[in-house]
Amino acid sequence: MFSGTSTRGRAKAGTSSHGRRGTLPSLRREMALMMMSARMPRNLESDGTGSLPEAAVSAAQPPIDEPRAAWAVGTVMAVTPCSARDARWVLGVAAKAAGVTPAEVAAAMAAGSRGTAMPAVVERALHRAVATARTVSPRSACIGLMPSRARTEEVLAEFRACQSRLTAAPSDMRARQALDDAAYTLCVLLGRTGVHDAVLAAEQHLTGEP
């Protein structure tokens, strides 16, 4: 099973999907743009007060069962990028760091998609969790022959197409499954264990970078 997370501790900065190191402010802008481009349907929107829900969902309840949280998982998958499992990990880590539940993080993200500022503590925790998920694990380096550039380009293009579809509709379960499948294929092809790492490796392979 592939993973988009690192076990090497908390990262102070993330890496963009185009191979550049990004600061937390740049991650904030990136996620803000992502959430605004995939606005939460009004029937799943928060009350617009900017505060977290008073009635917290039980921590024992899987956040994926909530339509709002399913949207949040899809959004995190597309922006990181990562698998659905790792997106739930991101939401869980962010929730723990902020002292709230994953459902409350999802609610704050939903409000943010409508232009309401997220609570600062949740925003910081979410961006740090995404940055950690993007951290490349030293153990994920590829050993062996690289695939052809033609095959790499084909698989990366399919991954990007799936990522775009999920960005447009984060709650779409078929789009989520398609991105999961494309991410898995890319990881296997490049011999990487992390999705973001596999994307970087594919881009470097296509540009001829070492």
Comparing 9-13, 67-71, 142-146, 169-173, which segment has the lowest mean pLDDT? 9-13
Indicate whether this model's pTM tops 0.75: no
73/153 same-domain check: no
Q: Confidence class of residue 39 from pLDDT cuts 50, 70 and 90? A: low
Query: Both 122 and 148 in a single domain?
Result: no
- Judge whether 190 lies within some domain: yes
For residue 123, give its domain range: 14-133
2 within a domain of the structure (yes/no): no
Same domain? For 119 and 187 the reply is: no
Which of 82, 114, 133 finishes a domain? 133
Q: Are residues 111 and 84 in the same domain?
A: yes
pLDDT of residue 135 exceeding 60, the answer is yes
- Is there a single domain that holds both residue 25 and residue 91? yes
For tokens 């409000």, what's the residue? 111
The yes-or-no verdict on residue 55 having pLDDT over 60 is: no
